[in-house]
Amino acid sequence: QTGRFRLLRAVIEGLQANNQLQYFKSIANTPGFVRVVASFIDELKQGVIPADAFAATAELPKDYELSLIYTAYQERLIAHKLVDREGEGWLALDALRKDDNRIIAHEPVQLKLPLKMLLVDGFDLLTPLQARLVARLSGRAGLALVTLTTVTERESTIGRRFKQALERLIES
């Protein structure tokens, strides 16, 4: 996490040096800003929202500047052949997609995943990225079992999380 924060700090400092951060200018040098932006980028990546897609939706100055930071951060990771925690999930999803295309084209697969059984247990919330990974892996397993917790008579409060996890799995 420390290395990631340093990388993000360097990205922010570079954007500031080029006068690209006006909206966040007064707080960009604070440790809290780096933590909040890192968390925000995690949320975007968990939602499988690439930097260019987020940038395309930026309407407000703060959104535009966040998109600059996210884009520069991703470019820096790629340039140095680095990957962050959520990026590992993106790479796994991409590898599974490529193999699915190879299977359709009757070409040899890259990932040898002879899964007899896939068991996913203990999750009460799945991010869109996690749901897509579980769905792709389930398609390769002879048997896939996913258990989602529920709390009787609390479906309208804590149970919403479990329902959302199920909906994400179904969508994926």
At 42-90, the pLDDT tens digits run 999 999 999 999 999 999 999 999 999 999 999 999 999 999 999 999 9
Q: Are 62 and 21 in contact (CB under 8 A)?
A: no
Report the percentage of the chain scoring pLDDT > 70.
99
The pLDDT value given to residue 97: 87
The pLDDT value given to residue 58: 95
The pLDDT value given to residue 140: 82
Instruction: Name the 3-class secondary structure at 145.
Output: strand
Q: Is the pLDDT of residue 25 over 90?
A: yes
Q: Which letter does DSSP use for residue 50 in this model?
A: -
Q: What is the pTM of this model?
A: 0.81
The 3 state secondary structure assigned to 123-134 is ECCCCHHHHHHH
Q: Is the pLDDT of residue 30 over 80?
A: yes
> Is the pLDDT higher at 156 or at 65?
65
> For the stretch 83-121, what's the b/e string if a residue is b when 16 or more beta carbons lie within 10 angstroms of its beta carbon?
ebebeebbebbeebeebeeeeeeeeeeeeeeeeeebebe
Task: Dump pLDDT digits (tens) for 87-111.
Answer: 999 999 998 888 888 778 888 877 7
The pLDDT value given to residue 107: 81
The pLDDT value given to residue 16: 95
What mean pLDDT is reported for the chain? Answer: 89
The pLDDT value given to residue 90: 92
